[in-house]
Homo-oligomer: A and B are copies of this chain.
Amino acid sequence: MSIITIVGAGMMGSAIGFPASDNGHEIRLVGTPLDREIIEHARRTGEHLTLRRRLPERFRYYQIEELDEALAGAELLVSGVSSFGVDWFLEEILPVIQETLPVLAVTKGMQDTEDGELIPYPHLYAKKLDRRLSLNAVGGPCTSYELADHDPTEVCFCGEDMEVLRRIKALFETNYYHVSLSTDVVGVECAVAMKNAYALAVTLAVGLSERTEGVGGTLHYNSQAGLFGQSVREMRRLLALVGGGEENIVYGAGDLYVTVFGGRTRLIGTLLGRGLSFERAMEELEGVTLESIVIATRTARAVRRLIELGRAKAEDFPLLLHVDDIISRGAQVAIPWSSFETEETRA
């Protein structure tokens, strides 16, 4: 029996505690300053406010001021914070933990730099901290509520040290939560981050269908599939650009698939495809800043920088750049279908 401390009590951070709890481990769920209500509610009712499910009996709840108590004796620290909490986590949490405590972060994608580099958060954290921490991440197709409901789920834990990864896997592996391992942190993180931009791209087709069939009408799959195929094509190119292994396209494709059917990203893409401007589409979401939009624009910005630097070609990323134009420049939806065409001559 091990103690696993999760900092960040949002939907995914909480859901990832389920398989570990099923394995008999004690889960200490620590709220960030933004999670006070979630922790209060869980303490009172045993239910998660936004996941809308009963939490396992083995969960214990802590407000952020109780962090030390929550970390005492922990074998693993899980970061469940969203992209908007990564800086806070770096400044408030990572400096105070023991160096022997490994960290597993729900993947937050990559940070783009002035040089057009895309750096995964584990590497970014390592650079900014003057400490040798074991920083690992989890990515792959996994919606929080389905994990909580024990739907068969396949994910990947990535990190520098395979031995550490195996030990972390042993804490979480169940008959419904299946874990692959990889030391290709750049490859896995890139593959998973890319789904955000491309899920928007694929769901544009849903909105486009609605222009002819009406809202909620018959869906057209040729166009969705064409965009899905082009997404895989561009994701392969981006993986090559960042130096990630080709095999990680598996996580990109699977995660793209699950995100296309998810809630808010699909809704945004659909509204854009219908013809709403990005501003109007965001209004429909009542101002909730979509994490996926942030990661999508960050990915596009890095690619544009690489194009400026002559290290990437604009004609290799027509779909990504078009999605970025829609989000960042108020462009109308006008998918550049012809630009997806290629000529391949067998070597």
Contact = CB atoms under 8 A, between A and B. Distances in A.
9 contacts: A141-B221, A141-B222, A147-B222, A154-B225, A154-B341, A180-B344, A182-B345, A225-B255, A232-B253
Interface in A217-269: 219-226, 228-230, 232-233, 236, 245-247, 249-251, 253-255, 257-258, 261-262
Interface in A143-170: 143, 146-147, 149, 151-154, 162
Contact of A346 (B149, B180, B184, B249): B184
A341 B180 contact: yes
A87 to B, nearest CB: 27
Central interface residue in A162, A175, A257, by most chain B CB within 10 Å? A257
Contacts of A247: 233, 236, 344
A220 B261 CA distance: 10
A249 B232 contact: yes
A344 B184 CA distance: 7
B225 A257 contact: yes
A347 interface: yes
Chain A interface size band reads 35 or more
Count of identical protomers in the assembly: 2
Interface string A333-347: 001011011111111
A247 B234 CA distance: 11
A208 to B, nearest CB: 8
A78 interface: no
A140 B180 CA distance: 30
Nearest to A188: B344
Contacts of A153: 222-223, 226
Given A146-B223, A226-B254, 12 more contacts: A142-B222, A146-B220, A152-B223, A178-B337, A182-B346, A184-B344, A224-B258, A225-B254, A229-B254, A230-B250, A232-B249, A232-B254
A312 B140 CA distance: 27
A253 to B, nearest CB: 5
A229 B162 CA distance: 22
Given A162-B345, A222-B146, A344-B184, A154 B254 contact: no
